[in-house]
Structures are given as C-alpha cells and as structure tokens.
C-alpha cells in the first residue's frame, strides 16, 4: 500500500521548527501533550514537558495508546450514598494531543472505535475520543517480534489528524483532518513539501516491509476458517500447559478492550464511585457469576479463547481481524506462547481440517442515545417474600416512564457502593410497574433483600433480546421452568396468557427442588385453575417436615405426561444449567426439532451492552444476542452447554 | 451501631499494625466508621467486647495458642493481618530446623528450660490454630486494601481478594518486566492487591502476599529455568514467604 | 502504709510486649521489674545460608518501624564484608532515607504514643475531637515523613529500593524539588507542634539519674548514617569494637538480653545522640531545644521525648541541605559494582531508638554463615530497669494509678521497640 491519498496535503518542517511546533503545543494550556518517551530501555506514552523528550524513532511502546482513550482505571460514576439517590456520570473532558501513534496502533484505535462507538455508544469513551487529537508517525524502527507488514498495518492513510514522517534533518507532515490542518497552521511555520520530500517519504515507506523479520503466512481473510477447522488442535493444549494465565497478553494488546466494574465507598461512608478497570479473558474469574460457577475455567479454554476472539468472533462481528501485528504480546509473554503469527503459522502447517462452525449471529440493535452506563432512579413499591432466599419486588421508574421491556429481557440493578447485578424481569410488559425476583446469592442481592418499600435502587436496561412474541404467535406452547428459571419464564407465560387467543395449546411444566422452594404460588394456582392451560408441577424431593401431595421427581418425569405433537410445538426451557441437557434430550427423543426449542442462558452480565466482554459464549454476547436463544443456533457452540 | 474492632499481635514486627496507624487523615474517618475498643500499640483502653478481631503475627508457643483461641471465642469475625498471620511469613523459615536446634543456636546453654516464655514450637499461621474468616495478606499489608476491607464490611459486602496475579497490576503500571532486567520474579503466581509495588520500584516480587489458589507453579518454574535460575535458588525464593517443607 | 501491687501486663502504647511489676510494702519498694515477654522469633535462622542480596529484605522484617534503619545497617555490613564502596550520591540518598525514618518514627511516638499521657487520655482518638487542629498538624508531619520514605525507598515499612551497592531506583529532580517544597512548608507546623508539646510538657516528671550515653559520633555532622561509637563516659571507639561496648547477657525474666559498658547499664536513643552531638545540630534543631531549655547533658530519660522532637526539626533542615547538594551534583546512576567474595563486615547506624549494629560473615559463594545484630532497645532494657529502681521510691506518696502512670511513662519515654530486641546471641552456623 502506498499509503497516501492524492488529496492529502504534505508540508515540511525543519527539525528545529518541528521542535518549536511541539514546544508551542506543550506550552499552550489548551491541550495536554502526550507523546512517546523513553522508559528505562523501552518506550511509553507519557506527558511531554519538552519536545526533546519525544522519541519518534521508537520501535514499540510497552502499553499501546489505548490507555489514553480507555484508561487502566476510570471513574464512571460518582455517587453519595448518604442521599436517597444521587449519582452522576464522570466525564473526562481533558483535551489531549497524542504524538507518535504508529499506524498499527492507529488501526487498533479505529477497531476500538467500532466496538465502543457502534450501536450502543459508550459515552465515556466518546468524550475522551472527541477530545483527543492524534498526530501519528511513520515507523522508523521495527521491534523483533512485530509482523505488521504481513498484516498490512505498517502504513495508514486515514484516521489521523496529522501524520509525521521523521526524515532526520526534517520532518514531513501529512494533513489528515481540518483540526490537524488548523493545528499546523496556527502553531507551525511549515513549507509546502517539495517533490524530493514526497519521494523521500515514499522511499521510507517502501523500505519498511523488509525490516520485518517475522511474518504470518495466512491472509487475514482466511483466519476465521482456519481457526474454525482447528478448535481441537493439539497446539492449544501444548501451549496452554506453559501458560501462566497472567493476563499480560491481553493487557498489552491494542485491540483488547474488555473491562470489569466495581463500586467503592470512601471511609466517610458518603462519597463513592463506580470504576472500571482493564480485565482480560485469560484471568480465571473473568466468567465467574455470583452463584460461584466459572464458565470458562481451564487454562486451555481461556488461552484458546483469546485467539478465537481475535481471529474468528470479532472478524465475523465487525469485519476485521483484531490483531495488528504489533508484537507486544509476543515480546512480553514470559513463556513466549502468545505470538499470533507463530500460532497461526503452526496451525496452518498442520491443519486438522475438522470444521466447527462458530457463528456470530447478526442482531438488529436499536441505537440508544442516552448514556447506557448511568442507572436511572427507581423505587420499590411492593415487596413479597417467596422463599427464605427469594423475594419478589415491584418497581417503578421514578421518571414515570414505562420500562417498555420484552419478556425474557433483564435489567442491571444498582445499589451504589455495593455494585450491580443482572436480574431477569418477571412481569409482562405494559404499565409503569415491573417485577423482579431477587435471589440472595451475592453482595448486591443480599443487600437488596434488606431493602423495603419506598427505598430506591438504580436501574439500567432493559437489556438482551427477549422472546420474539411475533414469531411465537399462533404456536402450541410448551413452557418448562426449573427452579428460579421460572422467574424470567413467567414474563413470557404472562404475556402469552394476556394474549391467549393468539396461541393454540398452552402447557406449563414447573419443577423445583422441594416444596419450600416453590415460587409464585398465586400464579401457579391461577394456571392450575384455568381451563385453557394445562399445568403440571413436580418437586425433586419432599424432605421430612414439608407437605406435598403432587408429583415427586425431576422435571423430566413430567414430559411423558404431556400430550403434544412434537413437530408442531415450541418448547421454551428456562432453568439451571444442568437441567437443559436432560430436558432437551427428552424432547429430542420425542421428536421435537432443534429449531422448535428455545432456551434462556445465563452468563456473567456486567455492562449489558456488549462491551465488557464477560458474557461471551464463544463469539456470542449473551447480553446482545441472548439471553434467549434458539437451541439450533447454539447447540454447536462448544461453550454453550 | 458501629462494629467494635480490636487489634492484636503475636510474633511479628508490628509493621502491619503500623500501616493502620499510618493511615494518616483516613484514621480520623476510620474511627467514625468503627469503634476501636482495643489497639495495644496506640491505646491504653482495652475491652473484651468486640465484633471484629484483627490479628497480626504468627503463633510460636502454647501460651500464644491459648491467647488466640480466647480471641477467636470473643470475635464474630477474625481477620488475619499480614503475611505472618496469613501464611506464617518469614517466621516459618526456621521450621526447616528442629526447635531444639534453633533454641540451642540462639540461646546456647542459657537456662531457659521449663520457662514458658521460651517454650516454642514450629511457627504457625493463624489458621493452623483457629478458623480465620478473612485474610489481608502482604508484608506489610497494603493500606488501600485495608481501608477497602473496612469500607466493604461497613457496607455489608464480603471483601474478596484479587484472584489474579501481580503481573496484571504490574502491566497496568506499564513496568518493564523485571525478568528483562536480569531479576527473578514470583509475580505470575502471587496474589495481586499490592499494586505490584516491588516490581514498580525495580525489584522482583518475592511472593509476600501468598500464592494464588491454584498457581501455575510448573509454568512459573519453566520460566525461571529459562532465565537461568538454579533449582536451589528457585526453592529458596519460593519458600521465603510461603514456607513449605516439601517445597514447590 | 498499705501494700501496693501493680502489674501491667503487655504495656500499651509501646511496640512489642513487656510487663511492669511494682510491689511496695510499708513505705518500702520490694520489687520493681521490667520484663520482656515477647515471643522470640529467631532471626538468625532466617539469614542462615541466605545469599548476600537477601540479607537486607530479611533483616528489614526484624522491625516494622525501623525497617529502613535495619536495612541500612544490613547493607553497610554486607558492603563492608564484600568490600563494596558506595558512591557519594548513594550515601546522600541513604542519609535522606534515614531522616525520613527518624521523622516518621519520632512524630508517631510523640503524637500517638506519648501525647495521650501528656493530655490525660488513653489514646490519640479522643484528642481528635478535643484538639482536632493539633492532631491534624501531627498527622500532616507524619504524612510528610511517609511521603519522604516512599520517595527514597519505595515504601515506609520494608523498603524496596535499597540494595547492596546503591538503589534500584532513585528520585527524579522533579520529585526532589517537590519534596524540598514540602519540607520547607513544614517548618511552621513543626514550631506549632513544639509549642503545643511545650504547653503540656509539665506532665513530664523532673527526674534525673546519672547515666552513660552511647551513640554514633562524627566530626562534621549529627551522625545517623556514618560514624564511630561515642560514649559520654569513655570517648570515641571504633565500630569494630562494638562487642566490647555492648556486652550482652541473658536475664531470666526477659526474652530480651541486657547490655552494659562503663556502668551497670547505658542509654541509647535520641537523648543519647543529643547529649553526644548537640554541637552538630542544625539551627532549627537547636531552636526547638532551646524552647524547652534542653541542653546537654540531660540525665532525665523523660527528655528523650523532647529530644525526638528536636531531631524531627533537625532532620527536616538537614534534609534540605542534602537535597540541595544532590541537585547541585546532578542525579545520575551511581550503583557500585558488587564482586562476590568472602569477608566479614560490621554496619553501625542510628535508628530512631538508638545505635544498631549488624555484623555479617559471608563465604566465598556469597552466602551468610554468621550473623549478629545488637538492637538499640536491647541496650536500653537494663537502663530502664535501673531507672525504674531509682524512680520507684520517689513515687511512694502517690496513688496507685499515679505510680502506674509514671512507670509506664518512663518506659514509653525510651520508645522501646521490643519485638526487635527479643533474640540473639553470637551465633555460629554449623
């Protein structure tokens, strides 16, 4: 790639004038100037105090410039817990100029833009991005482990405000945007680039690929299918054995953008903040949920996942391979197992060719304008205890608006200072009130159990895809709920019953551990009584001291009792992970096709908007493409069941 | 009702309690959140009526075990403060030799027989004697971790320690890996929470916060071997704060 | 007169565990005893066979408060054994670090451990409400010392940056300038705190007992990092003769040993240094001393508290001189080369509580085969005992509570660091 669009203007500054330009930017108090400086015998981006610190001859920085747009630690919200509900978003409107961003890092920033400024816009990122000007620079020196040339990321012709090529005695600047042009005009004494200048730049860029000692032998377009052919390749086990699961590879990677969120409160017990910090899929508790389950536990699965996210899932979702060949992971991984070029080359040389499709469904997301990370104020208007660990709440948003949810969606409930928890909505849509069944399994849910009518909580959402009522309309419905899975299922059942004439047969099966664990007694009696509903119930066991006269046995014992036409029924199953395997098995034995089975899967939902990365099942975001799935769509996903 | 907190110490350098005294302005906030009813190092008053006991130091003698058991009985929550309390810390280094051998080395033939003050056994961490509810590791502890624990307990949360290694914090600080500087570091298998303070100041991690629940020891040993650490040196460093007779 | 029986178990507001016993019958003191019940930790075992580059991190853990001081003594002993000559910049930075430790320890002692006695309360916590402004000032001085420790050593307790031959990292010019500004800004606060202490200093008993004082002395400055051993009785002695000065011995009621030199006991610490080196104090130090009328030689152990305040002020001013010198010289990498060889070395350093000795013998592979540490508080225990024996009879006309308080205040005045002091004889490793 030659790299210069014909219309981009080029100007030249002598070395001295370049220093003056940079020093003038530094002296001006409009923007903070951040550039590449030495750090020990390496380099990093840091605040410049003088142009002499700037090292455009660097090969690569320890951390990529992503830290300037998505900092390691970032305050999202600040709140006061001594008040009933006081929270505000914290925006960083510090204006910055980054100097020295290499083309591969610029490409990575553009990838970050697509993730963070896509359908759901991350307002914190957007503020920082809009306040940052980027002065990119052409690569002069290449680090040993980089393979940018074979990734096509060693040159760039857009995305920068200015692009600097350091020719030694002089510096050639390519203008990229109006802001860049303005910066140069206002602060620099530049001449038009001569033909020799342009030629010198062209020669420098042309000579760049030969400086790379490493290359990847597979074209990026082929990475997804190569990886899908090799999900069980021995290389994963071999390398993972040496893996420290230390997270270094994800931390130093310019395209890794997952984060974790936590609340903290000062010792004055008043002021607090919600902060986000970098997180990584290599770390053990990345997929941990409050109940204690870890969904991607072994080092092998975590080690492999990173490559698949970069080489399969993100390409399928956004159209780019999320690797820019910078070589940071390769150079900084202590056991040296993180090099994508080595892994891809090695798989390529011995491909197992056993295709495992890893689909990333395309889902229509309606763009939302408001700040999705700021909870709305809501009040508890009713509270009813169901079991010794479960309570049903009726909530209203204080603004008066309806939640306007679909059955199967969830909200993120905030208790400031404690945290946030994803809770499925248990009521049908319509009206100001919505219901949440809260099960005490962790800090947030345990705190919530103490709250009373009149207390306020924060609500974000609704999130997730929910059940598609239109698609289900006209069908014979078989609802199978296990344990607290009845909570989200109830929202669908109630919606169905409110529109009973839109459906043909309706059968409801419900099973739980024991009589004391039974939820929603009132609804159950309703359903039992209704003539237009067949309702069957069971408990796994009836321990001594508890009363039960109905069926005893696991929920699969109810399935034979149901009279259904397997080809003409939609089965909706929601329950604990272990239940799915057995119920689905029984349904399939009855002849129910995979497309007619719908499940709701749980993972660690944190942001709710497909950014933090924790809820992924292979390449699928449970918070965006789920939690409701057609079994045929997910049955082949290795991480689903 | 403010929770009542009492501090105790056994065989230690008292550096961890000093971190609490070193909270500077935050100590003024601390005493608003909790009621400190006993803190021998800074207070004359003492009360046996406390909810939370924070204990520093290792257990060396039967008389220490009795005192600790008494504390455990009084407290609803027992917190082990610092490496000596959590893992035995440096105190356990002498467990390599027998008690008789060590006593003879240090006290020679002075008459200490039968004197309960000198009646030592193997150095023990707190949880080798009583049940411990929470651990705040480190040599010394990290003050921010301590205030986080207090604030979380006051909020009704269960404080949890990071389950990821020191490398995560080290990389976030953009440190150059000390292995590249010719040093050896136990960061990849050591529990984070100290903000990677030693590598940030140019020294390799010695594991004072204890290892992760399932540390990648074999992978760590491979790395150390790759960088030229002898087996003997490896074992010495790995057992310094986390002494184990059988090594790693 | 009735009998008086006082037993204070685990004295409060001192570092470590010690007991005070006082029995009097019919107007006569029968028994007064200071006993150490601290669990021995056997630190020799920790350094046994350890490589020379690990002696500092291990011995630092002898004490949480004087960890920088132990580190210094350890490094000096190691460097003396290996024949490593540290550069001038390293010495200046180490002196700065010792000042930070002195400041941190002294202000903690005065503000948190002693002040409650002067104001008649059990701890500093009630003072937060009754004397908030003064407490805030003390906290500010404490924070300055911590900041200085962080800057020079990476951390106040168990320093990180110190290593054999120099530092793993040194402050930048910008950081030193920032520190300089903060030190200069603290001078008014020091004088304010000094005046507050003066207003309450009447609570310190006017007691005197002729005593020998021992500490580091130097020709040209108030010695903390380098010097020879000085005695108010016998003059100057080379550091290599430290065993002849300290003469440790075991006593049954104590897991810590006693020491003696020219008399039955001697005292080390701030007052000892003050008595030996008054002339070398900076102007600010002398100004604070004159505020209290403190002049050498003071034989009142309670004045150790005041001497600590004097030293805080002196440390601040001397630190400013050191910073100026560092900036004049320009900061650069100054670590000495370390060649591993066999040898023996002794490091003597003043820590807040007195003179500290580390003595190592290292074999040709660089491992430590013999070690000895003489802790300042060890050297004070005998003197505490004898002071108690002299003070006791003068208290007999007071109430039991007052006697108890006076004895406690006496021990506290020494600022003992008991957990350091519980161990060690001359040990040879087989």
Poorest-pLDDT segment among A26-30, A381-385, C211-215: A26-30
C117: distance to nearest CA of chain B, Å?
10
CB C144 within 8 A of CB C319: no
Taking an 8 Å cut-off on Cβ atoms, the answer to whether B21 and C41 are in contact is no
User: Distance (Å, rounded) from C-alpha B154 to C-alpha B33?
Assistant: 7
Taking an 8 Å cut-off on Cβ atoms, the answer to whether B43 and C123 are in contact is yes
Residues B98-125: pLDDT tens digits? 888 777 766 666 666 677 767 788 899 9
User: Distance (Å, rounded) from C-alpha A595 to C-alpha A580?
Assistant: 15
pLDDT of residue A1: 37
User: Distance (Å, rounded) from C-alpha B82 to C-alpha C91?
Assistant: 32
Residue A399 burial class via C-beta count within 10 angstroms: exposed 0-12, middle 13-18, buried 19 and up:
exposed
Residue of A nearest to B23 (CA): A267
C130 touches chain B (CB under 8 A): no
Q: How far out from the chain centre does Cα C148 lie?
A: 18
Taking an 8 Å cut-off on Cβ atoms, the answer to whether B42 and C123 are in contact is yes
Poorest-pLDDT segment among A83-87, A169-173, A307-311, A594-598: A83-87
Please tell me which of the candidates A40, A280, A417 has its beta carbon nearest to residue B176.
Answer: A40
Neighbour subunits, C (≥3 Cβ pairs < 8 A) = B
B139: distance to nearest CA of chain C, Å?
8
Half-sphere exposure of A447 (CA within 13 A, CB side): 21
Residues C236-245: pLDDT tens digits? 999 999 999 9
Torsion of CA A39, A43, A48, A51, to 10 degrees: 110
Mutation target vs A (from B153, B160, B165, B219; most A CBs, 10 A cutoff): B219
Poorest-pLDDT segment among A307-321, A504-518, B20-34, B211-225: B20-34
Summary mean pLDDT of chain A: 94
Please tell me which of the candidates C123, C156, C423 has its beta carbon nearest to residue B22.
Answer: C156
CB B8 within 8 A of CB B46: no
pLDDT of residue C49: 86
Is the pLDDT score of C429 beyond 50?
no
Taking an 8 Å cut-off on Cβ atoms, the answer to whether C46 and B110 are in contact is no
A130, B8, C256, C304 from C375: Cα distances, Å: 61, 24, 10, 18
User: Distance (Å, rounded) from C-alpha C60 to C-alpha C76?
Assistant: 13
B238: distance to nearest CA of chain A, Å?
16
Contacts of A41 in chain B (CB under 8 A): 176
> In chain A, pLDDT over 90 holds for what percent of residues?
91
pTM: 0.93
Taking an 8 Å cut-off on Cβ atoms, the answer to whether B171 and A252 are in contact is yes
Structural domains of chain B, with CATH: 4-154 (3.40.50.700), 166-238 (no CATH)
B152: distance to nearest CA of chain A, Å?
8
Of A227, A221, A286, A223, give the one whose Cα is nearest residue A251.
A286
DSSP string, C41-110: --HHHHHTT-BGGGHHHHHHTT-SSSHHHHHHHHHHHHHHHHT----HHHHHHHHHHHHHHHHHHHHHII
Contacts of A245 in chain B (CB under 8 A): 165, 216
C15: distance to nearest CA of chain B, Å?
6
Q: Look up residue A524 and give its two tokens.
A: 């159950």
CB C7 within 8 A of CB C33: no
pLDDT of residue C430: 33
Mean pLDDT of C38-48: 75
Residue of A nearest to B162 (CA): A285
Is the pLDDT score of A377 beyond 80?
yes
CB C316 within 8 A of CB C222: no
Contacts of C15 in chain B (CB under 8 A): 14, 41
Taking an 8 Å cut-off on Cβ atoms, the answer to whether A44 and B32 are in contact is no
pLDDT of residue A367: 63
- Where residue C100 falls among pLDDT bands split at 50, 70, 90? very high
A44 touches chain B (CB under 8 A): yes
B204 touches chain A (CB under 8 A): no
B104 touches chain C (CB under 8 A): no
Taking an 8 Å cut-off on Cβ atoms, the answer to whether B148 and A264 are in contact is yes
CB A106 within 8 A of CB A156: yes
User: Distance (Å, rounded) from C-alpha B198 to C-alpha B178?
Assistant: 10
Mean pLDDT of C333-346: 95
B133 touches chain C (CB under 8 A): no
pLDDT of residue C425: 37
Contacting residues for A186 by C-beta, under 8 A, at least 6 apart: none
CA angle, corner A462, sides to A457 and A465, nearest 5? 155
Is the pLDDT score of A626 beyond 60?
yes
B34-64: buried (b, 16+ CB within 10 Å) or exposed (e) per residue? bbbbbbbbbbbeeeeebbbbbbbbbbbbeeb
Is the pLDDT score of C59 beyond 70?
yes
Taking an 8 Å cut-off on Cβ atoms, the answer to whether B157 and A443 are in contact is yes
pLDDT of residue A310: 97
Residue of B nearest to A299 (CA): B216
Please tell me which of the candidates A42, A251, A269 has its beta carbon nearest to residue B171.
Answer: A251
B64 touches chain C (CB under 8 A): yes
A40 touches chain B (CB under 8 A): yes
Is the pLDDT score of B65 beyond 90?
yes
pLDDT of residue B7: 95
pLDDT of residue A577: 86
**Element containing residue A164 per DSSP (H, E):** strand A162-166
Q: What are phi and psi of C30, to 5 degrees?
A: -90, -40
ipTM score of complex? 0.93
B39 touches chain C (CB under 8 A): yes
B3-21: buried (b, 16+ CB within 10 Å) or exposed (e) per residue? ebbbbbbbbbbbbbbbbbb
Say whether A171 sits in a helix, a strand or coil: strand
B188: distance to nearest CA of chain A, Å?
6
- Where residue B23 falls among pLDDT bands split at 50, 70, 90? confident
pLDDT of residue A362: 75
User: Distance (Å, rounded) from C-alpha C397 to C-alpha C399?
Assistant: 7
DSSP letter (8 states) at residue B9: E
CA angle, corner C121, sides to C116 and C127, nearest 5? 70
Contacting residues for A470 by C-beta, under 8 A, at least 6 apart: none
**Element containing residue B6 per DSSP (H, E):** strand B4-9
B24 touches chain A (CB under 8 A): no
pLDDT of residue C250: 76
Structural domains of chain C, with CATH: 4-36 (no CATH), 43-428 (1.10.645.10)
Structural domains of chain A, with CATH: 10-211 (no CATH), 220-349 (no CATH), 376-463 (2.40.30.10), 469-600 (3.40.50.80)
């Amino acid at each position: 790639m030659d790299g210069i669009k014909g219309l981009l203007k080029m100007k030249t500054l002598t070395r001295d004038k370049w220093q003056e330009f940079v020093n003038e930017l530094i002296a001006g108090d409009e923007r903070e100037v951040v550039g590449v400086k030495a750090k020990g015998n390496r380099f990093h981006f840091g605040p410049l105090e003088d142009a002499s610190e700037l090292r455009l001859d660097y090969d690569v920085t320890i951390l990529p410039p992503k830290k300037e747009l998505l900092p390691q630690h970032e305050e999202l919200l600040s709140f006061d817990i001594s008040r009933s509900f006081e929270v505000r978003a914290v925006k960083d409107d510090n204006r910055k100029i980054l100097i020295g961003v290499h083309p591969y890092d610029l490409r990575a920033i553009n990838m970050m833009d697509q993730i963070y400024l896509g359908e759901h816009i991350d307002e914190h990122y957007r503020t920082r991005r809009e306040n940052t000007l980027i002065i990119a620079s052409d690569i002069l020196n290449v680090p040993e482990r980089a393979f940018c040339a074979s990734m096509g990321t060693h040159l760039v012709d857009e995305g920068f405000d200015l692009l600097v090529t350091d020719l030694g005695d002089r510096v050639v600047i390519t203008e990229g945007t109006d802001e860049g042009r303005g910066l140069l005009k206002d602060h620099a004494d530049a001449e038009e680039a001569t033909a020799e200048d342009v030629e010198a730049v062209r020669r420098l860029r042309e000579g760049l690929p030969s400086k790379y000692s490493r290359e990847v032998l597979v074209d990026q377009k082929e990475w997804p299918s190569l990886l899908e052919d090799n999900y069980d390749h021995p290389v994963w086990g071999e390398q993972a054995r040496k893996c420290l699961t230390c997270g270094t590879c994800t931390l130093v990677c310019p395209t890794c953008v997952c984060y974790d969120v936590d609340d903290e409160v000062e010792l004055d017990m008043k002021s607090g903040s919600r902060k986000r910090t970098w997180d990584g899929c290599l770390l053990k508790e990345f997929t941990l949920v409050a109940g204690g389950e870890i969904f991607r536990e072994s080092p092998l699965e975590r080690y492999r996942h990173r490559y698949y996210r970069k080489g399969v899932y993100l390409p399928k979702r956004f159209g780019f391979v999320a690797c820019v060949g910078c070589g940071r992971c390769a150079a900084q991984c202590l056991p040296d197992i993180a090099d994508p070029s080595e892994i891809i080359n090695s798989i390529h040389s011995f491909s197992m060719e056993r295709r495992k499709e890893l689909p990333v469904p395309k889902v229509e997301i309606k763009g939302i304008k408001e700040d999705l990370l700021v909870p709305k104020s809501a009040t508890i208007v009713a509270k009813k205890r169901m079991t010794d660990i479960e309570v049903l709440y009726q909530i209203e948003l204080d603004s008066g608006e309806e939640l306007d949810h679909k059955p199967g969606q969830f909200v993120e409930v905030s208790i400031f200072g404690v945290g946030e928890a994803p809770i499925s909505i248990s009521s049908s849509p319509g009206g100001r009130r919505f219901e949440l069944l809260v099960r005490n399994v962790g800090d947030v849910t345990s705190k919530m159990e103490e709250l009373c009518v009149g207390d306020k909580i924060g609500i974000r959402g609704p999130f997730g895809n929910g059940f598609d009522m239109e698609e289900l309309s006209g069908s014979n419905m078989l609802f199978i709920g296990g344990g607290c899975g009845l909570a989200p299922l109830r929202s669908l059942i109630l919606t169905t019953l409110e529109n009973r004439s839109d459906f043909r047969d309706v059968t409801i099966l419900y099973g739980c551990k024991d009589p004391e664990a039974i939820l929603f007694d009132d609804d159950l009696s309703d359903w039992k009584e209704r003539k237009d509903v067949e309702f069957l119930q069971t408990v796994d066991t009836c321990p001594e001291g508890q009363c039960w006269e109905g069926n005893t046995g696991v929920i699969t014992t109810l399935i034979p009792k149901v009279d259904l036409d397997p080809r003409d029924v939609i089965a909706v199953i929601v329950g604990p992970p272990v239940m799915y395997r057995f119920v689905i098995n029984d349904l399939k034995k009855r002849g129910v096709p995979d497309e007619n089975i719908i499940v709701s899967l749980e993972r660690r939902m944190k942001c709710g908007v497909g950014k933090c990365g924790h809820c992924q099942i292979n390449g699928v975001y449970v918070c965006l493409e789920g939690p409701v799935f057609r079994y045929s769509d997910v049955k082949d996903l290795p991480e689903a069941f | 009702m403010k929770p009542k907190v009492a501090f105790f110490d056994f065989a230690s350098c008292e550096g961890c309690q000093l971190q609490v005294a070193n909270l500077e302005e935050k100590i003024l906030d601390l005493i608003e959140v909790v009621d400190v009813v006993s803190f021998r190092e800074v207070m004359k008053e003492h009360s046996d009526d406390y909810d939370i006991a924070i204990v520093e130091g290792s257990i060396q003698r039967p008389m220490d075990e009795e005192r600790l058991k008494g504390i455990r009985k009084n407290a609803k929550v027992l917190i082990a403060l610092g490496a000596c309390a959590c893992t035995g810390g440096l105190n356990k280094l002498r467990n390599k030799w027998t008690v008789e051998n060590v006593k003879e080395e240090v006290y020679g033939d002075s008459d200490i027989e039968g004197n309960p003050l000198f009646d030592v056994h193997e150095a023990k961490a707190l949880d080798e004697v009583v049940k411990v509810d929470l651990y705040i590791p480190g040599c010394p502890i990290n003050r921010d971790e301590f205030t986080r624990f207090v604030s979380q307990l006051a909020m009704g949360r269960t404080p949890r320690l990071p389950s990821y290694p020191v490398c995560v914090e080290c990389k976030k600080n953009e440190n150059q890996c000390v292995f590249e500087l010719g040093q050896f570091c136990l960061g990849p298998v050591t529990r984070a929470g100290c903000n990677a303070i030693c590598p940030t100041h140019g020294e390799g991690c010695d594991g004072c916060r204890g290892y992760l629940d399932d540390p990648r020891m074999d992978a760590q040993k491979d790395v150390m071997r790759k960088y030229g650490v002898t087996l003997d040196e490896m074992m010495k460093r790995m057992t310094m704060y986390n002494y184990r007779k059988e090594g790693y | 007169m009735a009998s008086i029986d006082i037993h204070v178990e685990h004295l409060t507001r001192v570092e470590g565990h010690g007991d005070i016993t006082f029995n009097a019958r019919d107007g006569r003191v029968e028994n007064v005893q200071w006993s150490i019940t601290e669990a021995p930790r056997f630190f020799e075992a920790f350094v046994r066979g350890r490589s020379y580059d690990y002696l500092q991190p291990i011995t630092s853990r002898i004490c949480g408060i004087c960890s920088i001081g132990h580190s210094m003594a350890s490094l000096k002993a190691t460097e003396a054994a290996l024949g490593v000559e540290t550069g001038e910049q390293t010495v200046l930075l180490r002196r700065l670090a010792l000042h930070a430790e002195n400041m941190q320890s002294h202000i903690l002692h005065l503000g948190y451990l002693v002040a409650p006695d002067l104001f008649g309360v059990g701890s500093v916590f009630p003072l937060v409400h009754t004397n908030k402004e003064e407490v805030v000032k003390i906290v500010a001085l404490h924070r300055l010392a911590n900041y200085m420790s962080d800057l020079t050593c990476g951390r106040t307790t168990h320093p990180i940056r110190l290593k054999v031959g120099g530092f793993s990292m040194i402050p930048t010019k910008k950081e030193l300038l920032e520190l300089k500004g903060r030190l200069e800004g603290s001078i008014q606060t020091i004088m304010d705190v000094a005046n507050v202490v003066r207003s309450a200093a009447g609570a310190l008993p006017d007691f005197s007992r002729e005593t020998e004082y021992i500490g580091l002395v130097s020709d040209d400055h108030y010695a903390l990092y380098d010097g020879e051993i000085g005695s108010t009785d016998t003059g100057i002695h080379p550091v290599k003769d430290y065993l002849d000065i300290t003469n440790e011995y075991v006593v049954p009621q104590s897991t810590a040993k006693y020491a003696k030199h020219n008399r039955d006991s001697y005292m080390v610490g701030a007052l000892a240094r003050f008595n030996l080196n008054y002339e070398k104090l900076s102007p600010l130090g002398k100004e604070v001393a004159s505020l209290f009328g403190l002049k050498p030689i003071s034989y009142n152990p309670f004045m150790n508290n005041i001497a600590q305040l004097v030293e805080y002020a002196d440390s601040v001013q001397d630190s400013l001189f050191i910073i100026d010198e560092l900036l004049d010289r320009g900061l650069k990498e100054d670590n000495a080369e370390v060649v591993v060889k066999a040898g023996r070395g002794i490091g003597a350093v003043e820590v807040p509580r007195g003179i500290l000795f580390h003595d190592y013998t290292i074999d040709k592979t660089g491992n430590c085969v013999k070690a000895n540490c003489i802790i300042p508080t060890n050297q004070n225990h005998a003197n505490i005992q004898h002071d108690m024996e002299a003070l006791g009879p003068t208290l007999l006309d007071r109430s039991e509570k007052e006697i108890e308080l006076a004895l406690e205040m006496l021990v506290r005045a020494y600022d003992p660091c008991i957990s350091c002091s519980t161990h060690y004889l001359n040990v040879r490793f087989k």
